[in-house]
Structure formats: C-alpha cells, structure tokens
Amino acid sequence: RWNIETGPLDSTAVRLSWNPISELALQGSWGHFEDPEQLEPGVDQKRWSASALYARDIAPGWKLAGTLAWGRKTAEGHKDDAYVAEASLKHGPWTIFGRGELAENRELLVTEEHGPAFTVGKVSLGAIHDFRLADQVALGLGGLFAVNFVPNGLEPLYGSSNPIGAMGFVRLKV
C-alpha cells in the first residue's frame, strides 16, 4: 500500500495459531467485515477459516509438505464453504505437487444479486525442476495439468462439465 487509510475502524478479526509439534501448524480465524467489497456496497461479511500444515523430511533428501484448509464466507444470509487439500514432495532439484479444491460460489453468473451457489472443483498435478544459479538463487521450470469439475447448470458456459487445462511456468527463487 502507498497510503494510510483514514476511515473508521469498523471490522473485527481474530486468528489463533498453534504448533503442537515442530512439523505441524494449526490455525483458525474469524472476522466480521463491514462493507468489504467495493463491487458490493453495503454488504457485510463474516469469514471463518481453519487449516493444518504439515512438513517434514521423510527420508534423507526427501521432503513432504501438505495442507488441509477450510473457509466459509457468510453474506446476505448465505453460507458458502470452500475446501482445499494440497501436497508436495521434493527430492533434489525436483518437486512434484498436487492440489484438490472444492468451493461453493455465487459469483459465477453475472446477475444483479448473487445467484445460486454452484459447487465447483479442480484437481491439478504438476512438477518443477530447479536449476541452481548461485548459493541463494534458483531458476525453476515447471508445468501442471488440471481437471475442473463444473455442474450441469454451468456446462454451456464452460463447454464441458470437466474442462481441462495445462500450464508451463518459470520461477525465480531468491
């Protein structure tokens, strides 16, 4: 941000986190937000979240990390949930990763008011290879493949109930 906002303090949020062991991080949060979205003036929201992150070495040179997360947005009497599970396995310069997500979304159709909640999902799998350029610098080349899950009511807009996608990318780690 480049400026200090001077509006009234009108929202409340709290987050609790706990690390019961060095490999596990747990968190939960709640927030009440007054008029947070510029495109939805006058609509207040409540948001909840919970997550668990786990990471450890599973063998010499092998690292495993995973996350389970849930979030809920409540606005105008609607409660919409989202879930995600993701994991990565790293060995040497290679990392293989995957992610699955499922969300209820009321913003997939352009309407004056929020439409019905559609449950949509996505599963993706990918890999990246890091090339060390210096002690603290690496260039990564990677790609992923994804399958989306779209309900029948949205299939005409997406062309399929299971649109697929692929992506190649470059990453610079400093």
Q: For 53-94, what is each residue's pLDDT tens digit? A: 999 999 999 999 999 999 999 988 889 999 999 999 999 999
**Phi and psi torsions of 156, nearest 5°:** -60, -30
Helix (H) / strand (E) containing 47? strand 45-59
- For the ranges 21-30, 108-117, 133-142, 151-160, the lowest mean pLDDT is seen at 108-117
What pLDDT band is residue 102 in, cutting at 50, 70 and 90?
very high
Entry pTM: 0.84
Measured between alpha carbons, how far is 55 from 27 in angstroms, rounded to an integer? 15
Nearest to 37 by CA among 83, 84, 106: 106
